[in-house]
Chain A
Amino acid sequence: QQQVKQSPQSLIVQKGGISIINCAYENTAFDYFPWYQQFPGKGPALLIAIRPDVSEKKEGRFTISFNKSAKQFSLHIMDSQPGDSATYFCAASYGGTSYGKLTFGQGTILTVHP
């Protein structure tokens, strides 16, 4: 039962290009949508997060776009750099006991070529 579906599985982008990763969710109770970045041999680290009351959130080169009616959200990485090469996970959760009880997508391996 995969409640958060992520695509693509892998992505290759040239330096300076735009990386776009998409996620779709099923559970309409979800109201917190973070993105995590993971480098090899490390644990995931929070990159950026959004709540459904806004359609877009930007932090530096990273932007989340959110479409509540379509139950979709995406991560855009502008001016992609080789240092952005990592695995990216979208996730979702809802209030109650903890927003940390996340349902993760399958992950996207991003490779940025110099």
Chain B
Amino acid sequence: NAGVTQTPKFQVLKTGQSMTLQCAQDMNHNSMYWYRQDPGMGLRLIYYSASEGTTDKGEVPNGYNVSRLNKREFSLRLESAAPSQTSVYFCASSVVGSTNEKLFFGSGTQLSVL
């Protein structure tokens, strides 16, 4: 049981390049999330998906797109990377409706945009 798996773990991009961060969960969770973590700012929600085929913007969605391919997979795409997108990206999943909704996070993708 792997939980939430993110690939790649590290990536260096040049300004203007594009890339897709992959995320998959094997816990049969309905909801999935993308957060970014920056020093001194905690984690901020980029996008959220309540179920397959639905997505919703979070606090910082500009410059990103997402795809909920199926119940297991939720990808994050940077169409034209900018230095401001240098960050650690975390994917998470959770079960909708639990009293204490618990997010299960992946190990993160460390992205540097030069």
Chain A contact residues, CB within 8 Å of chain B: 4, 6, 9, 32, 34, 36, 41-46, 49, 89, 91, 93, 97-107
Binds A, one of B13-21, B64-72, B76-84, B95-103: B95-103
Within B16-35, which residues are at the interface with A (CB < 8 Å)? 31, 33
Q: Distance (Å) between the CB of B76 and the closest chain A CB?
A: 15
Q: Distance (Å) between the CB of B95 and the closest chain A CB?
A: 9
A6 to B, closest residue via Cβ: B42
A4 CA to B44 CA in the complex, in Å? Answer: 11
Contact partners of B92 in chain A: CB under 8 A:
43, 100
A100 with B48: CB separation less than 8 A: yes
B56 with A97: CB separation less than 8 A: yes
B43 with A98: CB separation less than 8 A: no
A4 CA to B59 CA in the complex, in Å? Answer: 13
Instruction: Tell me if B41 counts as interface (CB < 8 A to partner A).
Output: yes
A89 with B31: CB separation less than 8 A: no
A3 to B, closest residue via Cβ: B59
B50 with A44: CB separation less than 8 A: no
B90 with A106: CB separation less than 8 A: no
Q: Which residue of the partner chain, among B4, B40, B101, B106, contacts A98 with CB atoms under 8 Å?
A: B101
Q: Which residue of the partner chain, among A89, A101, A107, contacts B58 with CB atoms under 8 Å?
A: A101
